[in-house]
Amino acid sequence: MQIRLFVNQPLAVGATVCLPEDQRHYLRNVLRAQPGAELFVFNGREGEFSAVLSVLNKKEAQIQICRVLRGQPEKRDVRLYFALLKRDCTALVVEKATELGVTKIVPVITQYTSVQRVNVERLRAVAIEACEQCRRLDVPEISEPVALAALLNEQNADEPLLIHLDETGTGHKAEQVFKGVDRAAFLVGPEGGFSESERALIAATPHTVGLDLGERILRAETAAIAALALFMCR
């Protein structure tokens, strides 16, 4: 089994890197790795390296960086603004958005959001774990929650096209919405949808377009994953 680790420290060929306690514990007590084991490490900034586990005991874990395997990929600007969902659904959205290549995730507070608070550090750990699993080398930025009105107030022609997922049938088909679009921000409503006043605010915001994912009413997490998959895999 390949061991992939996000190591939030400078990485360079020939360097010796001391791992934090949680990763020492994970390697020794969960994976039962042995000194000499090969790892793949990345820090989200300098690409991917092969490394060897040079020290692993009850007190410390050290790796020797061996060689560069992959350079750091060009960063795209694809964002997900999603209304906070119930705990597990929020984590699911962050995990799947990370796998699908989103570069910034912004939890949004809307009128019908069922949850007002979220543990952002936990979401960042979910994203890092998803990067390790899917071999992604850049870690998406996850911000603190923002109110929908504040988010829309920042929208302008210099920002990525804001594509709001619209289940009312007034949105446009993906092929039409995505044509010629490279930078995009997807806005997904909560389980209860956007309120009428929020829909009016979105409609009045410049550089936005509604995306219709068909006549079925999808769960917010389904809609977010479907829209991102359509956009990122075309």
CA angle 148, 149, 154 (to 5 degrees): 100
Is residue 176 close enough to count as binding ligand SAH by CB under 6 A? no
Residue whose pair of structure tokens reads 């997490």 in the numeric block: 221
- Measure the CA–CA gap between 120 and 33, rounded to whole angstroms: 30
Cβ closer to ligand SAH: 49 or 186? 186
Cβ closer to ligand SAH: 123 or 213? 213
What's the min distance (Å) between Cβ of 194 and ligand SAH? 6
CA distances from 136 to 83, 112, 174, 228 (A): 25, 33, 26, 16
Q: Which amino acid is at 161?
A: L
Cβ closer to ligand SAH: 27 or 102? 102
Enclosing H/E stretch for 163: strand 161-165
Q: Which stretch binds ligand SAH (CB under 6 A): 8-16, 120-128, 173-181, 211-219?
A: 211-219
Cβ closer to ligand SAH: 27 or 210? 210
Is residue 214 close enough to count as binding ligand SAH by CB under 6 A? yes
Residue whose pair of structure tokens reads 């289940």 in the numeric block: 167
Cβ closer to ligand SAH: 49 or 194? 194
- Measure the CA–CA gap between 201 and 204, rounded to whole angstroms: 5
- Contact indicator for 234, 202 with CB cutoff of 8 Å: no
Cβ closer to ligand SAH: 135 or 207? 207
Is residue 213 close enough to count as binding ligand SAH by CB under 6 A? yes
Is residue 174 close enough to count as binding ligand SAH by CB under 6 A? no
What's the min distance (Å) between Cβ of 69 and ligand SAH? 38
Q: Which of 131, 165, 177, 185 binds ligand SAH (CB under 6 A)?
A: 165
Q: Which of 11, 93, 185, 220 binds ligand SAH (CB under 6 A)?
A: 220
Q: How many CB atoms lie within 10 A of CB 42?
A: 25
- Contact indicator for 87, 126 with CB cutoff of 8 Å: no
Is residue 99 close enough to count as binding ligand SAH by CB under 6 A? no
Is residue 84 close enough to count as binding ligand SAH by CB under 6 A? no
Is residue 223 close enough to count as binding ligand SAH by CB under 6 A? yes
**Strand 141-142 vs strand 78-83: parallel, antiparallel, or unpaired?**
unpaired
Q: How far is CA 121 from the centre of its chain?
A: 13
- Measure the CA–CA gap between 234 and 225, rounded to whole angstroms: 14
Footprint of ligand SAH (CB under 6 A): 165-167, 171, 188-189, 193-194, 211-214, 216-218, 220, 223
